[in-house]
Structure 1
Amino acid sequence: MPAWARRLATTCLAVLLSSHGWTATAQTSDLVSTTAFRVCADPANYPMSTEDGRGYENRIAELFAEKLDRPLQYTWFPMATGFIRKTLRENRCDVVIGYAQGHELVLNTNHYMTSAYVLIVPEDGPLTGITSLSDPALKDLSIGIIAGSPPGTHLARNGLMAKARGYNLFVDRRVESPAPDMLDDLKAGEIDAAILWGPIGGPLVKADYPEFKATALVEETLPPRLFYRITMGVRQGEKVWQRRLNSLIRRHQDEINAILNDAGVPLLNDMGTEVIEAAQ
Protein backbone atom coordinates (compact mmCIF):
# COMPACT_ATOMS: atom_id res chain seq x y z
CA MET A 1 0.00 0.00 0.00
CA PRO A 2 1.42 3.46 -0.91
CA ALA A 3 2.42 5.71 1.97
CA TRP A 4 -0.34 8.24 1.17
CA ALA A 5 -2.93 5.44 1.34
CA ARG A 6 -1.67 4.24 4.72
CA ARG A 7 -1.88 7.81 6.07
CA LEU A 8 -5.42 8.18 4.73
CA ALA A 9 -6.50 4.87 6.26
CA THR A 10 -5.00 5.85 9.61
CA THR A 11 -6.77 9.21 9.56
CA CYS A 12 -10.11 7.65 8.67
CA LEU A 13 -9.75 5.09 11.49
CA ALA A 14 -8.96 7.85 14.00
CA VAL A 15 -12.03 9.83 12.92
CA LEU A 16 -14.23 6.73 13.15
CA LEU A 17 -13.04 5.89 16.64
CA SER A 18 -13.41 9.50 17.75
CA SER A 19 -16.98 9.65 16.45
CA HIS A 20 -17.86 6.64 18.60
CA GLY A 21 -16.19 8.09 21.70
CA TRP A 22 -13.49 5.39 21.55
CA THR A 23 -9.87 6.41 21.81
CA ALA A 24 -6.77 4.47 22.67
CA THR A 25 -6.72 5.91 26.17
CA ALA A 26 -10.32 4.82 26.74
CA GLN A 27 -9.17 1.21 26.61
CA THR A 28 -7.25 1.70 29.86
CA SER A 29 -9.78 1.46 32.66
CA ASP A 30 -9.88 4.20 35.30
CA LEU A 31 -12.65 2.56 37.31
CA VAL A 32 -10.42 1.24 40.10
CA SER A 33 -10.81 3.29 43.26
CA THR A 34 -7.76 5.19 44.45
CA THR A 35 -9.27 5.93 47.85
CA ALA A 36 -10.29 2.44 49.05
CA PHE A 37 -9.46 -1.22 48.51
CA ARG A 38 -12.87 -2.28 47.24
CA VAL A 39 -13.56 -6.02 47.57
CA CYS A 40 -16.46 -8.02 46.11
CA ALA A 41 -17.35 -10.84 48.52
CA ASP A 42 -20.03 -13.24 49.74
CA PRO A 43 -21.23 -12.21 53.22
CA ALA A 44 -21.91 -15.79 54.34
CA ASN A 45 -19.23 -17.90 52.66
CA TYR A 46 -17.49 -19.19 55.79
CA PRO A 47 -14.67 -20.21 56.07
CA MET A 48 -13.62 -18.03 53.12
CA SER A 49 -15.46 -14.72 53.50
CA THR A 50 -17.96 -13.48 56.07
CA GLU A 51 -19.54 -10.14 56.81
CA ASP A 52 -18.15 -10.25 60.35
CA GLY A 53 -14.59 -10.75 59.06
CA ARG A 54 -13.95 -14.33 60.26
CA GLY A 55 -12.95 -15.75 56.87
CA TYR A 56 -9.39 -16.20 55.66
CA GLU A 57 -10.18 -14.21 52.51
CA ASN A 58 -11.12 -11.36 54.85
CA ARG A 59 -7.64 -11.58 56.35
CA ILE A 60 -6.00 -11.54 52.91
CA ALA A 61 -8.10 -8.50 52.00
CA GLU A 62 -6.98 -6.79 55.21
CA LEU A 63 -3.35 -7.55 54.35
CA PHE A 64 -3.66 -6.02 50.88
CA ALA A 65 -5.55 -2.96 52.14
CA GLU A 66 -2.74 -2.38 54.62
CA LYS A 67 -0.03 -2.73 51.97
CA LEU A 68 -1.91 -0.34 49.66
CA ASP A 69 -2.50 2.05 52.57
CA ARG A 70 -6.21 2.24 51.75
CA PRO A 71 -9.30 1.55 53.87
CA LEU A 72 -10.96 -1.79 53.17
CA GLN A 73 -14.44 -1.50 51.67
CA TYR A 74 -16.76 -4.44 50.86
CA THR A 75 -19.60 -4.97 48.42
CA TRP A 76 -21.54 -8.00 49.64
CA PHE A 77 -23.39 -10.31 47.26
CA PRO A 78 -24.06 -14.10 47.36
CA MET A 79 -21.44 -16.11 45.45
CA ALA A 80 -23.94 -17.56 43.00
CA THR A 81 -25.30 -16.79 39.51
CA GLY A 82 -24.91 -13.08 38.78
CA PHE A 83 -22.15 -12.46 41.34
CA ILE A 84 -19.63 -10.92 38.92
CA ARG A 85 -22.30 -9.07 36.93
CA LYS A 86 -23.77 -7.47 40.05
CA THR A 87 -20.47 -6.55 41.69
CA LEU A 88 -17.31 -6.24 39.60
CA ARG A 89 -18.98 -5.40 36.28
CA GLU A 90 -21.20 -2.75 37.87
CA ASN A 91 -18.09 -1.07 39.28
CA ARG A 92 -19.27 -1.52 42.84
CA CYS A 93 -15.91 -3.05 43.76
CA ASP A 94 -12.52 -3.78 42.18
CA VAL A 95 -11.34 -7.27 43.15
CA VAL A 96 -12.57 -10.73 44.07
CA ILE A 97 -10.08 -12.24 46.52
CA GLY A 98 -10.52 -15.87 45.44
CA TYR A 99 -11.19 -16.93 41.83
CA ALA A 100 -10.14 -20.02 39.86
CA GLN A 101 -7.40 -19.44 37.30
CA GLY A 102 -8.54 -19.23 33.68
CA HIS A 103 -12.14 -18.19 34.30
CA GLU A 104 -13.35 -15.96 31.46
CA LEU A 105 -15.63 -13.76 33.57
CA VAL A 106 -12.67 -11.99 35.14
CA LEU A 107 -9.09 -11.03 34.40
CA ASN A 108 -7.02 -13.28 36.66
CA THR A 109 -4.00 -12.16 38.62
CA ASN A 110 -1.13 -14.57 39.14
CA HIS A 111 -2.23 -17.42 41.40
CA TYR A 112 -1.47 -17.18 45.10
CA MET A 113 -2.34 -20.75 46.03
CA THR A 114 -2.87 -24.22 44.60
CA SER A 115 -5.22 -26.52 46.44
CA ALA A 116 -7.27 -29.66 45.85
CA TYR A 117 -10.43 -31.49 46.84
CA VAL A 118 -10.13 -33.40 50.09
CA LEU A 119 -11.57 -36.63 51.43
CA ILE A 120 -12.87 -36.12 54.97
CA VAL A 121 -13.25 -39.11 57.30
CA PRO A 122 -13.27 -39.80 61.06
CA GLU A 123 -9.72 -39.31 62.34
CA ASP A 124 -9.71 -42.54 64.34
CA GLY A 125 -11.26 -44.65 61.55
CA PRO A 126 -9.74 -46.97 58.92
CA LEU A 127 -10.06 -44.55 55.97
CA THR A 128 -7.47 -41.92 56.93
CA GLY A 129 -4.67 -41.33 54.45
CA ILE A 130 -6.65 -42.18 51.30
CA THR A 131 -5.48 -39.91 48.44
CA SER A 132 -7.38 -41.38 45.48
CA LEU A 133 -11.04 -42.20 44.89
CA SER A 134 -10.01 -45.45 43.22
CA ASP A 135 -8.86 -46.82 46.59
CA PRO A 136 -10.60 -50.21 47.19
CA ALA A 137 -11.31 -49.22 50.80
CA LEU A 138 -14.05 -46.86 49.54
CA LYS A 139 -16.05 -49.62 47.86
CA ASP A 140 -19.69 -49.88 49.00
CA LEU A 141 -19.44 -46.73 51.17
CA SER A 142 -21.83 -43.78 51.19
CA ILE A 143 -19.87 -40.66 50.26
CA GLY A 144 -21.13 -37.10 50.43
CA ILE A 145 -20.38 -34.88 47.44
CA ILE A 146 -21.38 -31.45 46.17
CA ALA A 147 -23.58 -32.10 43.11
CA GLY A 148 -21.91 -31.20 39.83
CA SER A 149 -18.41 -30.91 41.27
CA PRO A 150 -15.43 -32.60 39.53
CA PRO A 151 -15.03 -35.49 42.01
CA GLY A 152 -18.42 -36.79 40.87
CA THR A 153 -16.86 -38.06 37.64
CA HIS A 154 -14.32 -40.04 39.64
CA LEU A 155 -17.01 -41.49 41.89
CA ALA A 156 -18.96 -42.63 38.83
CA ARG A 157 -15.86 -44.10 37.19
CA ASN A 158 -15.09 -46.12 40.31
CA GLY A 159 -18.65 -47.35 40.86
CA LEU A 160 -19.23 -45.22 43.95
CA MET A 161 -22.08 -43.04 42.74
CA ALA A 162 -24.95 -45.43 43.52
CA LYS A 163 -24.60 -44.86 47.26
CA ALA A 164 -23.33 -41.29 47.10
CA ARG A 165 -25.34 -38.49 48.69
CA GLY A 166 -25.49 -35.19 46.78
CA TYR A 167 -25.57 -31.70 48.27
CA ASN A 168 -26.50 -28.52 46.40
CA LEU A 169 -23.80 -26.55 44.58
CA PHE A 170 -25.29 -23.11 43.85
CA VAL A 171 -26.95 -21.81 46.99
CA ASP A 172 -27.36 -18.61 48.96
CA ARG A 173 -25.20 -19.39 51.95
CA ARG A 174 -27.28 -17.05 54.09
CA VAL A 175 -30.05 -19.66 54.05
CA GLU A 176 -28.34 -22.95 53.12
CA SER A 177 -24.91 -24.40 54.01
CA PRO A 178 -24.13 -27.58 52.05
CA ALA A 179 -20.59 -28.12 53.38
CA PRO A 180 -21.46 -27.96 57.11
CA ASP A 181 -24.60 -29.99 56.39
CA MET A 182 -22.45 -32.69 54.80
CA LEU A 183 -20.05 -32.77 57.75
CA ASP A 184 -22.95 -32.87 60.20
CA ASP A 185 -24.29 -35.92 58.32
CA LEU A 186 -20.85 -37.51 58.54
CA LYS A 187 -20.79 -36.83 62.26
CA ALA A 188 -24.25 -38.41 62.61
CA GLY A 189 -23.14 -41.52 60.72
CA GLU A 190 -25.51 -40.93 57.81
CA ILE A 191 -22.59 -41.01 55.36
CA ASP A 192 -19.20 -42.72 55.63
CA ALA A 193 -17.00 -40.01 54.09
CA ALA A 194 -17.25 -36.53 52.61
CA ILE A 195 -15.58 -34.84 49.65
CA LEU A 196 -15.19 -31.06 49.70
CA TRP A 197 -13.08 -28.42 47.99
CA GLY A 198 -9.98 -28.22 50.19
CA PRO A 199 -10.12 -24.47 50.93
CA ILE A 200 -13.59 -25.09 52.37
CA GLY A 201 -13.22 -28.55 53.91
CA GLY A 202 -9.78 -28.08 55.45
CA PRO A 203 -10.67 -24.97 57.48
CA LEU A 204 -14.05 -26.39 58.53
CA VAL A 205 -12.38 -29.51 59.88
CA LYS A 206 -9.70 -27.52 61.70
CA ALA A 207 -12.10 -25.05 63.29
CA ASP A 208 -15.33 -26.96 63.84
CA TYR A 209 -14.87 -30.72 63.30
CA PRO A 210 -11.62 -31.75 65.03
CA GLU A 211 -12.76 -35.38 65.15
CA PHE A 212 -12.30 -35.59 61.36
CA LYS A 213 -9.26 -35.66 59.11
CA ALA A 214 -9.09 -34.02 55.67
CA THR A 215 -6.68 -35.55 53.14
CA ALA A 216 -5.94 -33.95 49.76
CA LEU A 217 -6.83 -36.14 46.76
CA VAL A 218 -3.47 -35.73 45.00
CA GLU A 219 -3.16 -39.10 43.26
CA GLU A 220 -5.90 -38.92 40.65
CA THR A 221 -4.33 -39.55 37.23
CA LEU A 222 -7.44 -39.34 35.04
CA PRO A 223 -9.52 -36.24 34.26
CA PRO A 224 -11.06 -34.13 35.51
CA ARG A 225 -8.28 -32.78 37.67
CA LEU A 226 -9.04 -32.22 41.33
CA PHE A 227 -6.56 -29.40 41.98
CA TYR A 228 -6.90 -25.76 40.98
CA ARG A 229 -4.81 -22.61 41.11
CA ILE A 230 -6.57 -19.72 42.84
CA THR A 231 -6.07 -16.10 41.81
CA MET A 232 -7.65 -12.75 42.46
CA GLY A 233 -10.16 -11.59 39.85
CA VAL A 234 -10.40 -8.07 38.41
CA ARG A 235 -12.37 -6.52 35.56
CA GLN A 236 -11.35 -7.49 32.04
CA GLY A 237 -8.91 -4.99 30.56
CA GLU A 238 -7.58 -3.64 33.86
CA LYS A 239 -3.98 -4.66 33.21
CA VAL A 240 -2.40 -1.94 35.37
CA TRP A 241 -4.46 -2.98 38.40
CA GLN A 242 -3.72 -6.65 37.65
CA ARG A 243 0.04 -5.96 37.58
CA ARG A 244 -0.12 -4.05 40.85
CA LEU A 245 -1.89 -6.94 42.57
CA ASN A 246 0.59 -9.39 41.01
CA SER A 247 3.40 -7.40 42.58
CA LEU A 248 1.72 -7.51 45.99
CA ILE A 249 1.15 -11.26 45.70
CA ARG A 250 4.79 -11.85 44.79
CA ARG A 251 6.18 -9.67 47.57
CA HIS A 252 3.83 -10.95 50.28
CA GLN A 253 3.39 -14.62 49.33
CA ASP A 254 4.83 -15.82 52.65
CA GLU A 255 2.27 -13.75 54.57
CA ILE A 256 -0.54 -15.10 52.39
CA ASN A 257 0.68 -18.65 52.95
CA ALA A 258 0.76 -18.06 56.70
CA ILE A 259 -2.89 -16.92 56.64
CA LEU A 260 -3.93 -19.94 54.59
CA ASN A 261 -1.92 -22.36 56.71
CA ASP A 262 -3.35 -20.94 59.92
CA ALA A 263 -6.86 -21.38 58.52
CA GLY A 264 -6.23 -25.02 57.61
CA VAL A 265 -6.22 -24.70 53.80
CA PRO A 266 -4.28 -27.60 52.20
CA LEU A 267 -1.57 -26.03 50.02
CA LEU A 268 -0.09 -27.96 47.08
CA ASN A 269 2.80 -27.43 44.71
CA ASP A 270 1.89 -25.80 41.40
CA MET A 271 1.39 -29.18 39.69
CA GLY A 272 -1.02 -30.35 42.37
CA THR A 273 0.98 -33.49 43.10
CA GLU A 274 2.22 -32.85 46.63
CA VAL A 275 1.05 -31.11 49.78
CA ILE A 276 3.52 -28.46 50.90
CA GLU A 277 4.09 -26.62 54.13
CA ALA A 278 3.33 -22.91 54.16
CA ALA A 279 6.27 -20.64 54.95
CA GLN A 280 6.32 -19.56 58.58
Structure 2
Amino acid sequence: MKISASDDRAEVGRRVAAGLKRASGACALALAALCTLALPKGAQAQVSDLVDRSTLRVCADPANMPFTNEEGAGFENKVAELLADKLGLTLDYTWFPQATGFYRMTLGAKRCDIVMGYVAGGDPVLNTNPYYRSAWVFITPKGSDLADVTTLEDPRLKGRHIGVVAGSPPGDLMARNGLMGMARPYALMVDRRFESPAEAMIADINDGAIDAGILWGPIGGYYAKKSEKPLAVIPLVKEKGDPALVYRITFGIRPGELNWKHQLNQFIAAEQGAIDKILLDYGVPLLDAQNRPVQPAP
Protein backbone atom coordinates (compact mmCIF):
# COMPACT_ATOMS: atom_id res chain seq x y z
CA MET A 1 0.00 0.00 0.00
CA LYS A 2 5.10 -1.20 2.03
CA ILE A 3 2.13 -0.54 -0.05
CA SER A 4 9.58 -0.35 -2.94
CA ALA A 5 9.09 2.52 -5.30
CA SER A 6 6.00 1.29 -6.80
CA ASP A 7 4.22 0.89 -3.56
CA ASP A 8 5.38 -0.84 -3.12
CA ARG A 9 6.01 -2.45 0.03
CA ALA A 10 4.56 -2.50 -2.73
CA GLU A 11 5.22 -1.35 -3.26
CA VAL A 12 1.78 -0.83 -2.14
CA GLY A 13 1.54 -4.17 -3.89
CA ARG A 14 2.96 -5.72 -0.80
CA ARG A 15 0.97 -3.19 1.23
CA VAL A 16 -2.27 -4.02 -0.44
CA ALA A 17 -1.75 -7.72 -0.88
CA ALA A 18 0.99 -7.93 1.73
CA GLY A 19 2.93 -9.89 -0.80
CA LEU A 20 1.69 -13.04 0.80
CA LYS A 21 0.38 -15.31 -1.93
CA ARG A 22 2.56 -18.23 -1.10
CA ALA A 23 0.83 -21.53 -0.45
CA SER A 24 3.57 -22.78 1.84
CA GLY A 25 3.36 -19.64 3.97
CA ALA A 26 -0.42 -19.90 4.13
CA CYS A 27 -0.21 -23.50 5.31
CA ALA A 28 2.28 -22.63 8.01
CA LEU A 29 0.10 -19.76 9.21
CA ALA A 30 -2.99 -21.94 9.26
CA LEU A 31 -1.17 -24.57 11.30
CA ALA A 32 0.08 -21.97 13.76
CA ALA A 33 -3.42 -20.57 14.11
CA LEU A 34 -4.90 -24.01 14.82
CA CYS A 35 -2.25 -24.70 17.44
CA THR A 36 -2.93 -21.38 19.15
CA LEU A 37 -6.69 -21.83 19.10
CA ALA A 38 -6.27 -25.16 20.85
CA LEU A 39 -5.01 -23.33 23.94
CA PRO A 40 -7.24 -21.69 26.56
CA LYS A 41 -7.73 -18.00 25.84
CA GLY A 42 -5.49 -16.86 28.70
CA ALA A 43 -2.73 -19.23 27.64
CA GLN A 44 -2.89 -17.89 24.07
CA ALA A 45 -2.05 -14.39 25.25
CA GLN A 46 0.77 -15.66 27.45
CA VAL A 47 2.35 -17.73 24.71
CA SER A 48 2.00 -15.09 22.00
CA ASP A 49 3.48 -12.34 24.14
CA LEU A 50 6.48 -14.36 25.36
CA VAL A 51 8.86 -12.24 23.30
CA ASP A 52 11.95 -10.39 24.49
CA ARG A 53 10.99 -6.71 24.59
CA SER A 54 14.36 -5.43 25.81
CA THR A 55 15.15 -4.28 22.24
CA LEU A 56 12.89 -2.79 19.58
CA ARG A 57 13.45 -5.29 16.77
CA VAL A 58 12.18 -3.89 13.47
CA CYS A 59 11.66 -5.89 10.27
CA ALA A 60 12.56 -3.73 7.27
CA ASP A 61 13.71 -3.57 3.66
CA PRO A 62 17.35 -2.42 3.37
CA ALA A 63 16.73 -0.35 0.21
CA ASN A 64 13.18 0.94 0.05
CA MET A 65 13.20 4.72 0.18
CA PRO A 66 11.33 6.75 1.24
CA PHE A 67 10.25 4.08 3.76
CA THR A 68 13.45 2.46 5.00
CA ASN A 69 17.09 1.85 4.16
CA GLU A 70 20.15 0.60 5.99
CA GLU A 71 21.36 4.16 6.56
CA GLY A 72 18.20 4.95 8.51
CA ALA A 73 17.16 7.69 6.08
CA GLY A 74 13.53 6.65 5.51
CA PHE A 75 10.49 8.02 7.30
CA GLU A 76 9.71 4.63 8.80
CA ASN A 77 13.26 4.62 10.18
CA LYS A 78 12.46 7.94 11.87
CA VAL A 79 9.16 6.67 13.28
CA ALA A 80 11.01 3.60 14.60
CA GLU A 81 13.57 5.88 16.25
CA LEU A 82 10.77 7.84 17.90
CA LEU A 83 9.13 4.62 19.11
CA ALA A 84 12.40 3.26 20.50
CA ASP A 85 13.04 6.54 22.30
CA LYS A 86 9.58 6.64 23.89
CA LEU A 87 9.83 3.00 24.96
CA GLY A 88 13.38 3.44 26.25
CA LEU A 89 14.66 0.61 24.04
CA THR A 90 17.66 0.04 21.79
CA LEU A 91 16.68 -0.06 18.11
CA ASP A 92 17.74 -3.08 16.07
CA TYR A 93 16.86 -4.12 12.49
CA THR A 94 16.39 -7.39 10.66
CA TRP A 95 16.90 -6.56 6.99
CA PHE A 96 15.06 -8.49 4.29
CA PRO A 97 13.73 -7.37 0.87
CA GLN A 98 9.98 -6.83 0.92
CA ALA A 99 9.21 -9.51 -1.59
CA THR A 100 8.33 -13.20 -1.49
CA GLY A 101 9.18 -14.66 1.90
CA PHE A 102 9.30 -11.35 3.80
CA TYR A 103 6.82 -12.31 6.53
CA ARG A 104 8.11 -15.87 6.85
CA MET A 105 11.73 -14.77 7.23
CA THR A 106 11.07 -11.84 9.59
CA LEU A 107 7.98 -11.65 11.81
CA GLY A 108 7.06 -15.29 11.22
CA ALA A 109 10.54 -16.47 12.25
CA LYS A 110 10.48 -14.16 15.31
CA ARG A 111 13.70 -12.53 14.17
CA CYS A 112 11.99 -9.16 14.69
CA ASP A 113 8.74 -7.92 16.20
CA ILE A 114 7.28 -5.09 14.11
CA VAL A 115 6.89 -3.96 10.49
CA MET A 116 6.62 -0.17 10.48
CA GLY A 117 4.16 0.09 7.60
CA TYR A 118 1.35 -2.33 6.74
CA VAL A 119 -2.00 -1.77 5.06
CA ALA A 120 -4.87 -2.11 7.54
CA GLY A 121 -6.44 -5.55 7.17
CA GLY A 122 -3.43 -7.00 5.34
CA ASP A 123 -2.90 -10.69 6.11
CA PRO A 124 -1.30 -12.36 7.94
CA VAL A 125 -0.28 -9.74 10.48
CA LEU A 126 -2.14 -8.29 13.45
CA ASN A 127 -2.66 -4.61 12.68
CA THR A 128 -2.40 -1.81 15.19
CA ASN A 129 -4.55 1.27 14.91
CA PRO A 130 -3.63 3.22 11.75
CA TYR A 131 -1.03 5.93 12.22
CA TYR A 132 -1.57 7.54 8.85
CA ARG A 133 -3.90 7.56 5.89
CA SER A 134 -2.85 8.33 2.33
CA ALA A 135 -3.83 7.74 -1.28
CA TRP A 136 -2.41 7.11 -4.71
CA VAL A 137 -1.61 10.46 -6.29
CA PHE A 138 -1.78 12.00 -9.75
CA ILE A 139 1.44 13.90 -10.55
CA THR A 140 1.89 16.41 -13.36
CA PRO A 141 3.88 19.61 -13.90
CA LYS A 142 2.53 22.65 -12.11
CA GLY A 143 0.97 25.00 -14.61
CA SER A 144 0.01 22.23 -17.05
CA ASP A 145 -3.58 21.87 -18.27
CA LEU A 146 -3.83 18.72 -16.12
CA ALA A 147 -2.73 20.33 -12.85
CA ASP A 148 -6.29 20.49 -11.50
CA VAL A 149 -7.31 16.92 -12.44
CA THR A 150 -8.88 15.17 -9.42
CA THR A 151 -10.26 11.96 -10.95
CA LEU A 152 -9.28 9.50 -13.65
CA GLU A 153 -12.72 10.05 -15.21
CA ASP A 154 -11.62 13.53 -16.33
CA PRO A 155 -12.08 13.70 -20.15
CA ARG A 156 -8.87 15.72 -20.50
CA LEU A 157 -6.91 12.51 -19.82
CA LYS A 158 -8.07 10.87 -23.05
CA GLY A 159 -5.16 10.39 -25.43
CA ARG A 160 -2.58 11.53 -22.88
CA HIS A 161 0.57 9.64 -21.94
CA ILE A 162 0.22 8.66 -18.28
CA GLY A 163 2.74 6.65 -16.28
CA VAL A 164 1.36 3.84 -14.14
CA VAL A 165 2.91 1.10 -12.03
CA ALA A 166 2.10 -2.20 -13.74
CA GLY A 167 -0.32 -4.32 -11.74
CA SER A 168 -1.19 -1.53 -9.29
CA PRO A 169 -4.77 -0.55 -8.33
CA PRO A 170 -4.82 2.64 -10.46
CA GLY A 171 -4.17 0.51 -13.53
CA ASP A 172 -7.62 -1.07 -13.16
CA LEU A 173 -9.27 2.34 -13.00
CA MET A 174 -7.27 3.60 -15.97
CA ALA A 175 -8.42 0.59 -18.00
CA ARG A 176 -12.01 1.23 -16.95
CA ASN A 177 -11.71 4.81 -18.22
CA GLY A 178 -10.05 3.86 -21.52
CA LEU A 179 -6.64 5.31 -20.63
CA MET A 180 -4.37 2.30 -21.04
CA GLY A 181 -3.81 2.61 -24.77
CA MET A 182 -1.39 5.53 -24.34
CA ALA A 183 -0.16 4.60 -20.87
CA ARG A 184 3.49 3.96 -20.03
CA PRO A 185 4.01 1.07 -17.58
CA TYR A 186 6.66 1.02 -14.88
CA ALA A 187 7.77 -2.14 -13.07
CA LEU A 188 6.19 -3.11 -9.76
CA MET A 189 8.70 -5.59 -8.36
CA VAL A 190 12.31 -4.51 -8.73
CA ASP A 191 15.53 -4.64 -6.73
CA ARG A 192 15.51 -1.13 -5.31
CA ARG A 193 19.27 -1.21 -4.85
CA PHE A 194 19.64 -0.96 -8.62
CA GLU A 195 16.38 0.40 -10.02
CA SER A 196 13.77 2.96 -8.94
CA PRO A 197 10.60 3.06 -11.08
CA ALA A 198 9.24 6.04 -9.13
CA GLU A 199 12.32 8.15 -9.82
CA ALA A 200 12.21 7.10 -13.47
CA MET A 201 8.56 8.17 -13.70
CA ILE A 202 9.27 11.56 -12.13
CA ALA A 203 12.19 12.08 -14.55
CA ASP A 204 9.93 11.22 -17.49
CA ILE A 205 7.33 13.76 -16.32
CA ASN A 206 10.01 16.43 -16.03
CA ASP A 207 11.41 15.58 -19.47
CA GLY A 208 7.98 15.65 -21.10
CA ALA A 209 8.14 11.98 -22.07
CA ILE A 210 4.80 11.51 -20.29
CA ASP A 211 2.12 14.04 -19.39
CA ALA A 212 1.49 12.73 -15.89
CA GLY A 213 2.05 9.75 -13.63
CA ILE A 214 0.35 7.92 -10.79
CA LEU A 215 2.23 6.71 -7.70
CA TRP A 216 1.41 5.59 -4.18
CA GLY A 217 1.18 8.78 -2.14
CA PRO A 218 4.20 8.43 0.17
CA ILE A 219 6.42 7.58 -2.79
CA GLY A 220 4.99 10.14 -5.18
CA GLY A 221 5.00 12.92 -2.61
CA TYR A 222 8.60 12.20 -1.60
CA TYR A 223 10.06 12.14 -5.10
CA ALA A 224 7.93 15.05 -6.30
CA LYS A 225 9.30 17.09 -3.41
CA LYS A 226 12.83 16.26 -4.57
CA SER A 227 12.03 17.04 -8.21
CA GLU A 228 14.11 19.64 -10.04
CA LYS A 229 10.89 21.08 -11.46
CA PRO A 230 7.72 21.99 -9.50
CA LEU A 231 5.08 19.29 -9.68
CA ALA A 232 1.43 19.14 -8.68
CA VAL A 233 0.62 16.16 -6.43
CA ILE A 234 -3.12 15.41 -6.29
CA PRO A 235 -4.49 12.62 -4.03
CA LEU A 236 -7.01 10.51 -5.97
CA VAL A 237 -9.74 10.47 -3.32
CA LYS A 238 -12.77 10.89 -5.62
CA GLU A 239 -12.60 7.58 -7.47
CA LYS A 240 -15.74 5.44 -7.28
CA GLY A 241 -15.94 1.70 -6.83
CA ASP A 242 -13.15 -0.80 -6.50
CA PRO A 243 -10.24 -0.93 -6.25
CA ALA A 244 -9.79 1.60 -3.47
CA LEU A 245 -7.02 4.15 -3.84
CA VAL A 246 -7.07 5.38 -0.22
CA TYR A 247 -5.42 3.23 2.46
CA ARG A 248 -4.88 3.28 6.22
CA ILE A 249 -1.37 2.31 7.26
CA THR A 250 -0.63 0.53 10.53
CA PHE A 251 2.20 -1.22 12.32
CA GLY A 252 2.18 -4.95 11.56
CA ILE A 253 2.89 -7.45 14.35
CA ARG A 254 2.37 -11.18 14.90
CA PRO A 255 -1.20 -12.41 15.43
CA GLY A 256 -2.07 -12.91 19.10
CA GLU A 257 0.37 -10.37 20.53
CA LEU A 258 -2.38 -8.26 22.08
CA ASN A 259 -0.30 -6.70 24.85
CA TRP A 260 2.22 -5.48 22.26
CA LYS A 261 -0.61 -4.11 20.11
CA HIS A 262 -2.02 -2.21 23.09
CA GLN A 263 1.38 -0.69 23.85
CA LEU A 264 1.83 0.40 20.23
CA ASN A 265 -1.66 1.87 20.08
CA GLN A 266 -0.84 3.96 23.15
CA PHE A 267 2.29 5.23 21.40
CA ILE A 268 0.33 6.19 18.29
CA ALA A 269 -2.29 8.06 20.31
CA ALA A 270 0.32 9.93 22.37
CA GLU A 271 2.70 10.77 19.52
CA GLN A 272 0.39 11.33 16.54
CA GLY A 273 1.51 14.94 16.18
CA ALA A 274 5.19 13.97 16.11
CA ILE A 275 4.47 11.15 13.64
CA ASP A 276 2.55 13.50 11.34
CA LYS A 277 5.47 15.93 11.35
CA ILE A 278 7.89 13.21 10.28
CA LEU A 279 5.61 12.12 7.44
CA LEU A 280 4.86 15.63 6.22
CA ASP A 281 8.58 16.47 6.22
CA TYR A 282 9.03 13.60 3.74
CA GLY A 283 6.24 14.91 1.50
CA VAL A 284 3.73 12.20 2.43
CA PRO A 285 0.23 13.42 1.43
CA LEU A 286 -1.66 12.75 4.66
CA LEU A 287 -5.45 12.55 4.74
CA ASP A 288 -7.92 12.79 7.61
CA ALA A 289 -10.92 10.49 8.02
CA GLN A 290 -12.89 12.61 5.51
CA ASN A 291 -10.05 12.42 2.95
CA ARG A 292 -9.10 16.06 3.49
CA PRO A 293 -5.39 16.98 3.47
CA VAL A 294 -3.73 17.05 6.88
CA GLN A 295 -1.88 20.34 7.28
CA PRO A 296 1.37 20.82 9.20
CA ALA A 297 0.90 22.00 12.78
CA PRO A 298 1.56 25.73 13.22
Please point out which of 55, 74, 88 is paired with 2:93. Answer: 74
Please point out which of 113, 127, 139 is paired with 1:120. Answer: 139
Query: Would you say 1:41 and 2:95 are equivalent positions?
Result: no
Query: Which residue number corresponds to residue 12 of structure 1?
Result: none
Matches within 5 A, 1:19-168: 24-25=42-43, 27-28=45-46, 29-168=48-187
Secondary structure, aligned partner of 1:252: helix
CA gap 1:108/1:210 in 2 versus in 1, 3 angstroms? farther
Secondary structure, aligned partner of 1:162: helix
Q: Deviations over 1:240-280 (max 9, x none)?
A: 10110001001110110111111111111224x32221435
CA distance in structure 2 between the aligned counterparts of 1:190 and 1:93, rounded to whole angstroms: 43
Q: Deviations over 1:31-80 (max 9, x none)?
A: 53322111111111111111111111111001000000011111111111
CA gap 1:68/1:210 in 2 versus in 1, 3 angstroms? farther
Conserved in 2, the CA contact under 8 Å of 1:42 and 1:78? Answer: yes
Query: Which residue number corresponds to residue 9 of structure 1?
Result: none
CA distance in structure 2 between the aligned counterparts of 1:109 and 1:189, rounded to whole angstroms: 42
Deviation at 1:25, TM superposition (A): 2.5
CA distance in structure 2 between the aligned counterparts of 1:215 and 1:169, rounded to whole angstroms: 21
Could you tell me the TM-score, scaled by structure 1's length? 0.88
Conserved in 2, the CA contact under 8 Å of 1:182 and 1:194? Answer: yes
Secondary structure, aligned partner of 1:120: strand
Query: Which residue number corresponds to residue 294 of structure 2?
Result: 276
Amino acid across the alignment from 2:277: A
CA distance in structure 1 between the aligned counterparts of 2:284 and 2:213, rounded to whole angstroms: 16
Q: Deviations over 1:52-109 (max 9, x none)?
A: 1111111100100000001111111111121111111111111001100001121000
Could you tell me the TM-score, scaled by structure 2's length? 0.83
Number of residue pairs matched by the alignment: 260
CA distance in structure 1 between the aligned counterparts of 2:181 and 2:150, rounded to whole angstroms: 21
Q: Report the aligned-residue RMSD.
A: 1.8
Secondary structure, aligned partner of 1:117: strand
CA distance in structure 1 between the aligned counterparts of 2:190 and 2:266, rounded to whole angstroms: 34
Query: Which residue number corresponds to residue 14 of structure 1?
Result: none
Matches within 5 A, 1:213-224: 213-224=232-243
Question: Unpaired runs of 5+ in structure 1?
Answer: 1-16
Conserved in 2, the CA contact under 8 Å of 1:140 and 1:163? Answer: yes
Name whichever of 34-43 and 62-71 sits farther off. Answer: 34-43
Query: Would you say 1:192 and 2:231 are equivalent positions?
Result: no
CA distance in structure 2 between the aligned counterparts of 1:138 and 1:235, rounded to whole angstroms: 43
Please point out which of 186, 189, 194 is paired with 1:170. Answer: 189
Query: Which residue number corresponds to residue 179 of structure 1?
Result: 198
CA gap 1:78/1:209 in 2 versus in 1, 3 angstroms? farther
Question: Unpaired runs of 5+ in structure 2?
Answer: 1-34
Conserved in 2, the CA contact under 8 Å of 1:229 and 1:270? Answer: no
Amino acid across the alignment from 1:146: V
Conserved in 2, the CA contact under 8 Å of 1:94 and 1:235? Answer: yes
